[in-house]
Amino acid sequence: MTSFFRALKGEMRKLNKRRKYNVLFILLLIPYMIGRVVAAFTHMNAASGVVLGNTLLMFYLPLIAFVGVNDLISSEIKERSIQHCLIKPVSRMTVYIAKCAAVFLKCARHAFWLMLVDYAFGFIGIGSGSYFQIFYLVFDMIPLFALIAFAALISVCVNSPALSMLLTIVAYIAMIVAGSFLGWSQIMFTSYMAWHSMLHGGIGIIGFIERLLIVIAPGIVFLTSGAIVLERKRF
């Protein structure tokens, strides 16, 4: 366990050194702030929470996840810098899981800062964010685990960072479309990226367990498959 946290700390340090994530945060923050102001002055306060949830869960966090996975896995495989991680007295599976966990924590950090901005707007009277929104966000981070594991599997299989990023985005969009327009929402884990809405639907415990398995089971399969591929990959 100590080796895992040591590896996780190293991967987090890599992500924190890259300024692209700050740029992405600012690029999202500007239109979001404009949207909150417009929603407040047009008396559409409820819409601001919808905009935040949809943007945060369906676009921004997946983008951060894809970029993070691409930086820590695909780019390092192409540059062969991943060898420096693998020669340490740490198993490849531990390194792989630490990389995925680092991306997850990076997404959580960005989500936390966006939540603070949302509460700040509510505090100064521009819109009224729900006090339960932070709990909804934590709940919605569960499907993100499966998405990161999915992106990591593609990255470890494809040596090209550009191709890996393209395939991940195309696959994600295809799953969103399949879930929304082809009637596959019951079996697509991407259909539950904003699944805190289930809390308002009066869903039973059996239904919740079914949806939880739909989200977690693919994530475990993706994570295990990626770790196996990395274990057998030659550099």
Tokens 């691409």 found at: 70
Computed on alpha carbons and rounded to an integer, the radius of gyration of the chain in Å comes to 19
The whole-number pLDDT of residue 101 equals 95
Question: Roughly what angle, to the nearest 10 degrees, separates helices 2-17 and 92-123?
Answer: 60
Res 47: pLDDT: 46
Token output for 39: 């929603």
Give the pLDDT confidence score for residue 32 in this predicted structure: 73
* Confidence at residue 148, expressed as pLDDT on a 0 to 100 scale: 92
Range of the domain at 59: 2-232
Q: Tell me what pLDDT residue 61 has.
A: 83
pLDDT on residue 204: 64
Residues of the chain with pLDDT under 50: 46-48, 50
Distance, in Å, from the CA atom of 156 to the CA atom of 96, rounded to the nearest integer, reads 9
Residue range 86-144, pLDDT digits in tens: 776 778 888 999 999 999 999 888 888 877 777 777 677 665 555 555 666 666 677 88
Indicate the number of domains in the chain. Answer: 1
